[in-house]
Structure 1
Amino acid sequence: MRSNKSETVFVTGGAGFIGSALVRYLIRETDHTVINVDKLTYAGHLESLEPITDSDRYHFVQGDICDKEEIQRLFDEYQPDTVIHLAAESHVDRSIDGSAEFIRTNIVGTHNLLELAKDYYESLEGERKEIFRFLHVSTDEVYGELGNEGFFKETTSYDPRSPYSASKASSDHLARAWFHTYDFPVLITNCSNNYGPYQFPEKLIPVVILKALQGEDIPVYGDGTNVRDWLYVDDHARALFKVAQEGEIGETYNIGGHNEKQNIEVVKEICSILDELRPKATGHYEDQITFVTDRPGHDFRYAIDASKIEEELGWKPEETFESGIKKTVQWYLDNIDWCEAVTENNYSLERLGTAE
C-alpha cells in the first residue's frame, strides 16, 4: 500500500463521463493534485467539473494524447506520480459509422502515451520511481459476448466484435506489452456498462430519460433482451483509485456492478421511475417504447466477475441498480439545462440511445 502523502495524478479524458467522475472523486476524497488532460471532443464537457473547478489542486489542460510534444511538455511540467488513462472514443455506433478516429485515439494515442510515460518513468529515481503507476482503463466489450451463463474473468480470452471493442483490445495489448517488455508499472481495468449523472446523451440510459420527457419514441434495439451489467459511475471512480493505489503491478482487475439487466428491463424501470417522479397527463412513458432494427454485431450478453478486486483490494459497489438508477433519473430531471447545453449545435439525436 502506498503512503498517504499528497501525489500528482494525470487523468486523461478527465472531462468525459467516467473521467469527470474520477476527477471529482479525487478532489473531494483525497488530497492529491489532479491534472486533467482532455481534448474536449463532443463528449467532453467542462460543465461536468464545475463542482470542483475552484480547487487549487485541480488543473485542466486541453490536449490531445496523439500530440507527443504537448504530452511531453505536461510530463516535464507536472511530474505525475500516477497516470490514469481514460481518454478514448467510446461509442459503438460511432465506431461502426466511422472507425478511423477510434484507431487514432484508442490505439495510436495510447501508444504515444505509453512511450512518453515509459521515458518519464525511466528518468525517475528512488521513491518517485517506486510509487509511479500507469492505469489503463478499458471495457468488458473486449471479451466479446457470453451465452446465457458464465461471467467474464480477467483470464477470459479476447474476442472483440466491433471497431470500438477491437480498438480497446488493441490498446489493452499494448499496455500489457509495455509491462512485459519494458518492466513498466502498468495496471489494467475492464469495466461493465457505466451509468449515472453527467453521462453524455448518446448512451441508453440518459437518452431513454430525455426522449421520454420529450414525448418521442424510445428506441430499443432488436427485442431488447440483450443483457448488460450496470455499474454506477461513482462506484467505478472509487474502484479506479483503489486499483491505482493498491493494485499489483502487471495485473488486470474486472470492475462490475452485480446488476445484470436486459435492456428492455432497464428501459421499463426508467419509465416506471418517471411515472412516479414526473407523471404524464395521460398514459405512461412505457407507451413510447419502440423496437428498432438491431445494430450489426450486437453482442448478446456481458457479465463481469468482479471477485478479484473484491477479494484482493476490498472494493465492492455501494449502489444497487435500483438506488443508482433512481438517483440518475432524478439528476437528469434536475439538470435538463446541462443536457441541452452539451448537445446544442453539435450532435444529432437520430441514433441516440439505441446503443449501450
Structure 2
Amino acid sequence: MFVIDDGWFKGRIDDKAGLGDWTVDKNKFPNGLKPMIDQINALGLDFGIWIEPEMVNPNSDLYRAHPDWVFYFPNRQRHEVRNQLMLNLAREDVYQYVYKSISGLLRENNIKFIKWDMNKSLTDPGFMSAPSDEQRAVRIKYVENLYRLVGTLRKEFPDVWFEDCSSGGGRIDMGMARFFDFNWASDNTDPVERIFIQDSYLSIFPANTMISWITHEDWHGQNHPLEFKLDVAMAGVLGIGYDISKWNDEEKAIAGEKIARYKDIRKTVQFGNHYRLVSPYENNRSILQFVSKDLSESVVFVYNLAEYPKATSLEAKKTKTVRLKGLDPDRSYTIEGIQGLFKGDYLLNYGINFPVGGAFKSHIFKIIAQ
C-alpha cells in the first residue's frame, strides 16, 4: 500500500488554505490522480490517500461560499486551530456536501485506503439557525451524522479500508471502532515511547487495528537503530514513513529482511491471541506474545529499554525468566535462537529466559509446535 498524505487537493500549498475543497490540485496533478495511481498499481501496490473532511480553512472556496457552515457563536471570539475551523456536520447540507465530495473521490479513482484525520477538537458549537432543542443537541447530532457518513461510505465502497486518525490517537473509542479498520495510535513515532503507547493500546484493541509507522524523526536525540524501530512497529500494522530513496545499501538490506520477517509472522500477530507478559511501566523491558488460534505458532517480541550491572538495582536483581501464555501444555515447541525442545507445560509454568541484552535492543522469537 502506497499512501499519499496531506497536500494533494486544490489550493493546499501550506496548512493555511484548501481544506474543504476536495478536488485534485491541477497544478500538482494536471491529469488528475489516475496516472499516478496506475503507476503505483503497476508496481503491485494499492493506493491510499489522506483526507480531513470535517474541517475547513477560512481560505477556501467552500468557506467563502458557505461561511455559515462552520460551528460559531455570533459576537464571540472564534477559535482556529492549525488555521482551520470545524464544519457543522449536524447540518444536512454539510453532510451531503462532505458525502458527495468523498464518495466522488472514491468513485473516480482506484483508492483502496482512506486515512481520515481530524486535527481540531469540537469547540464553539454554535448552530444558531436551528431550533433551540437542536442547538442543545448539536454535539450528539454531529456524532450521529459522522457515524452515518462513514457507515454509508463503507457500505458503498466495501473494498476500501478506513483509518481513524485525530491529531494522533485523539478519537479512538468503541463507537469509532465500529466503522474503522485501523487506528493511528499516536503521532509520536519514537520507538521507546511507542513501546509504552502500544502496550496500553493493546490492552483494549487488537494488534491488527494498530497502525505502527517508523519515521526519520529522532525525537530525543537517541539515534535508535533501524532494527529496533522496525521490531517495535512490527507488533501492529507496519508502515514506513521514510524517504527510502535516501537509504543506503545497509539500511535497505535491514528493511528488506525485517519486512520479510513481518510477512512471515503477520498472520499470528494480527489474528492470534495476545498476551502482555512484561509491562514497560513496571520493568526496564517489554515483552509481548502472540499465539495462533490453533496453538501451533507463537511470536514473542522482546524490547530492552535499559540494562544495569548485576545487583546494582532492584530491577537488575529481578529474574529474567518469563512464563509464556496460551500454548498447548501437552505439545512440544522449539524456539528460534534457543537450543532445545520445550514442553508447553514447562514454558507455561516455569518459563524461559530470552537472551536479549543491551539498552534499546530487541529481538523477535518465533515458537513452533512440533
Q: TM-score normalized by structure 2? A: 0.28
Q: Which has the larger radius of gyration?
A: 2
Larger fraction in strand: 2
Larger fraction in helix: 1
Q: TM-score normalized by structure 1? A: 0.29
Structure possessing the higher relative contact order (Cα contacts under 8 Å, 6 or more residues apart): 1
